[in-house]
Structure 1
Amino acid sequence: MVFAGDQGSLDHIGLSPMLWQEQNARRMQILVVDDSVHIHHQLRTYFSAAGYENVSYVLSAAEAFEQIFYNDKRVANSVDLILMDIDMDGISGIEAVKRIKADPRFLDVPVVMISADTSTDSLQQAFDAGAVDYITKPLRKIEILVRVKSFLRVRQLTIELRKANDELQQLVNLDGLTHIANRRYFDIALHREWRHFRRSAPPLSLLMIDIDYFKRFNDRYGHLAGDRCLRKIAKVLSDVVKRPRDLAARYGGEEFALILPETDRCGAVAIAKRVLDAVSALRIEHATSTTGSQYVSVSVGVAVATDDPHKGSKGLIDESDQALYLAKQAGRNRFWVAGDLESNGDSSQYEETCG
């Protein structure tokens, strides 16, 4: 997408935004599906003269399926516009459009029908199948090129809008200071993982993490230093959790959370210890801390989901919060596992059961 502030990036290569968009459209993928070699030759001549670089030609719907699906429904080839003959041997153009549009990945890809049959019934079937327009035979160069340019532009705008929406959604889900997930997205993610847990009961763990004596830190070093501290802690937490579904989030203030799907008690304890060690390794001075360390430290509450239909995700949060409270009561700079009568932040007590 070209924003006003990006104009300079186009000016230095001598392109206006409109010309850049037109040239970009000519690099988009066009697929022609027609059982006439003559039509292929005619369109190849038109497109070549107009500067379209990426045009594929196939003689049947079956070949089209191979082209766009790579013989594997899970991997779709990129295609931005499909020109489809209605009347073909084997699978008809209308049936082909139905199958293509049944795949969510191609809902936004425009399909233009090519046909000598302009009867109302035929065109209605084509539109009902998912076609957006039709071109009549015999083909006329000006009509073909104008329609193609128009639909590629719409396709381009659709892609740019989706990208912009994705970027906006990421911003909505991120904490502005630390650039990790915010509380809103934490709630969404935990609800999703809890539903997955209830369906198939894989282990699910939650860690609540609080910076020890953070108010004292702010009072001593100032709020700018406090912000830097929060960003460093967030970076550490992001580095600790590496699997795609793991989530590090800022829960609020100086409190963070880690959602750990498919992580049992032993795995959660290992992560808690890794968090303590990683924060300690930052060696952020904290002269007013009374944890026994002269550096910034954290306390961690660990909770593991159990098969209790009455608890819900809020119950998991409550358990990890209670464990965090007990870690603080025990002197901070340690972790506590929900349900344990004693926990001193030393994972050695779990070595016998965790191996």
Structure 2
Amino acid sequence: MTAPIEENQLLALIVDDEPFFRTVLRLFLEQDGYRVAEAENSIEAINIFEQLHPDIVLLDISMPDMDGVECCNKLHSSAQGQHTPILMLTSVEDERSINHAFAVGATDYVTKFLPLSILRQRLKRLIEQSQLQQKLLAANQQLQLLVNLDELTQVANRRRFEEYLSLEWQRQIRSQQPLSLILCDVDFFKSYNDTYGHLAGDGTLVKIARAIKDALKRTADLVARYGGEEFAVVLPDTDALGAIHIAKTICCAVRTLAIPHRNSLLCSHITLSAGSTTVVPQPNSDFQQIIATADRALYQAKAAGRDRFIHNSSLDSSFANPSYSLFGSSAPKRCGFC
């Protein structure tokens, strides 16, 4: 059903219930340098499409069981089909069927009596347009990625953090599921820069960002550089116990890096302070509230001696809840709780 494969050949899928017409098209396309796959009905076409991901589909509009319009709709609905040109083939120019085909994702149509020289140009134009569209899409995705990334650490930037937190806040208002936030600050980082220089400081921020990112196991979790030596972690659908576990894991991961800091007032290497909070967002509330609560918890962690995390589990400041730290508030200022 398919010609010998060469890496640079384009793959065309012919879908038609007439064997003679498929043969004519196949010979023509192979002569023009295409690889060719054939299907005699829509079900077979969908299976081949999912397996081979052709560069273009030539699809008969009139077939038994599932017609070409319905097949086109199913192909176009798939992720791959959204970028694959679908050329509808028709024996009779039925305006209603053609309009329906365009409505469900067809790229163009031709009659089966069209001269092959014109068909050749149509195919060339459709594939060139598809390739250009995919290049533009990739370029836009790369641009969007750059807009949302912190240039130094390659995690999300402040803009992306606030955008994502706002979206998750609204989503959790609808679902009434918990949303957690962790704010982290590198302990005595100004002293670190003064001691080792800003280049070393930049390298340390990169390592810390990577350690925080590696501590997150779900694609929905987002780590962002909040500003300077501060990082933020958004944890959708995460309760207080989950946030506490992640905060502890992050602090341990940074300590495990064992980055020397001889002028730290705590110990001989880099540590983190973190504040976390968990809330079920309510209607007519603002996501800035959760940031303020996590920021207060971070301040409490610093005031309690740093190298620790504190968790506040309610946006209501009057809510009596326990705080969690790396070691008790009466413990000596030392490193190590993992």
Smaller-chain TM-score range?
A: 0.7 to 0.9
- 1:314 matched to 2:295? The reply is no
Cα distance between partner residues in 2 of 1:135 and 1:79: 19
Q: Hey, what does 2:141 align to over in structure 1?
A: 166
Check the 8 A contact 2:172/2:280 in 1, yes or no. no
From 31, 45, 54, the counterpart of 2:13: 31
Q: Hey, what does 1:52 align to over in structure 2?
A: 34
The alignment partner of 2:146 has SS state of: helix
Q: Is the deviation greater in 90-99 or in 226-235?
A: 90-99
From 241, 257, 262, the counterpart of 2:232: 257
From 140, 146, 152, the counterpart of 2:127: 152
Cα distance between partner residues in 1 of 2:95 and 2:245: 68
- Are the structure 2 counterparts of residues 123 and 210 from structure 1 closer, same or farther at C-alpha, using a change threshold of 3 Å? closer
- 1:42 matched to 2:24? The reply is yes
Check the 8 A contact 1:32/1:83 in 2, yes or no. yes
Deviations 1:99-156 (CA, angstroms, capped at 9, x unpaired) = 5445675344322222332466665555455433333333533223222222112212
- 1:63 matched to 2:44? The reply is yes
Cα distance between partner residues in 1 of 2:79 and 2:203: 43
The alignment partner of 2:17 has SS state of: coil
More helix by share: 1
Q: Which amino acid aligns with 1:30?
A: A
Cα distance between partner residues in 2 of 1:128 and 1:335: 55
Q: Hey, what does 2:247 align to over in structure 1?
A: 272
Cα distance between partner residues in 1 of 2:311 and 2:15: 62
- 1:346 matched to 2:316? The reply is no
Q: Hey, what does 1:19 align to over in structure 2?
A: none
Q: Hey, what does 2:315 align to over in structure 1?
A: none
Q: Which amino acid aligns with 2:41?
A: S
Q: Which runs of 4 or more aligned residues in structure 1 lie more than 6 Å from their structure 2 counterparts after TM superposition? A: none
Cα distance between partner residues in 2 of 1:187 and 1:226: 25
- Are the structure 2 counterparts of residues 126 and 224 from structure 1 closer, same or farther at C-alpha, using a change threshold of 3 Å? closer
Check the 8 A contact 2:169/2:281 in 1, yes or no. no
Cα distance between partner residues in 2 of 1:68 and 1:204: 40
Cα distance between partner residues in 2 of 1:140 and 1:121: 24
Check the 8 A contact 1:207/1:258 in 2, yes or no. yes
Q: Hey, what does 1:7 align to over in structure 2?
A: none
- 1:183 matched to 2:139? The reply is no
CA drift of 1:93 comes to 3.1
CA drift of 1:312 comes to 3.3
- Are the structure 2 counterparts of residues 26 and 265 from structure 1 closer, same or farther at C-alpha, using a change threshold of 3 Å? same
Aligned length: 318
CA drift of 1:285 comes to 2.3
Q: Is the deviation greater in 83-92 or in 200-209?
A: 83-92
- Are the structure 2 counterparts of residues 205 and 346 from structure 1 closer, same or farther at C-alpha, using a change threshold of 3 Å? farther
- 1:333 matched to 2:307? The reply is yes
Over aligned residue pairs, what C-alpha RMSD do you find? 2.8
Q: Is the deviation greater in 146-155 or in 226-235?
A: 146-155
Deviations 1:182-226 (CA, angstroms, capped at 9, x unpaired) = 111111221222223222233321110001121122122211111
- Give me the TM-score of the superposition, normalised by structure 1: 0.79
Q: Hey, what does 1:111 align to over in structure 2?
A: 86
Cα distance between partner residues in 2 of 1:325 and 1:24: 62
Check the 8 A contact 2:255/2:269 in 1, yes or no. yes
The alignment partner of 1:296 has SS state of: coil
CA drift of 1:92 comes to 3.6
Check the 8 A contact 2:53/2:80 in 1, yes or no. no
Q: Hey, what does 2:267 align to over in structure 1?
A: 293
Cα distance between partner residues in 2 of 1:340 and 1:82: 62
Q: What residue ranges of structure 2 are gaps of 5+ in the alignment? A: 313-319, 329-338
The alignment partner of 1:312 has SS state of: coil
- Give me the TM-score of the superposition, normalised by structure 2: 0.83
Q: Is the deviation greater in 321-330 or in 193-202?
A: 193-202
Q: Is the deviation greater in 191-200 or in 327-336?
A: 191-200
Cα distance between partner residues in 1 of 2:254 and 2:178: 26
Check the 8 A contact 1:60/1:88 in 2, yes or no. yes
Cα distance between partner residues in 1 of 2:77 and 2:244: 46
Q: Using the aligned pairs only, state the percent identity.
A: 38
Q: What residue ranges of structure 1 are gaps of 5+ in the alignment? A: 1-22, 71-76, 348-355
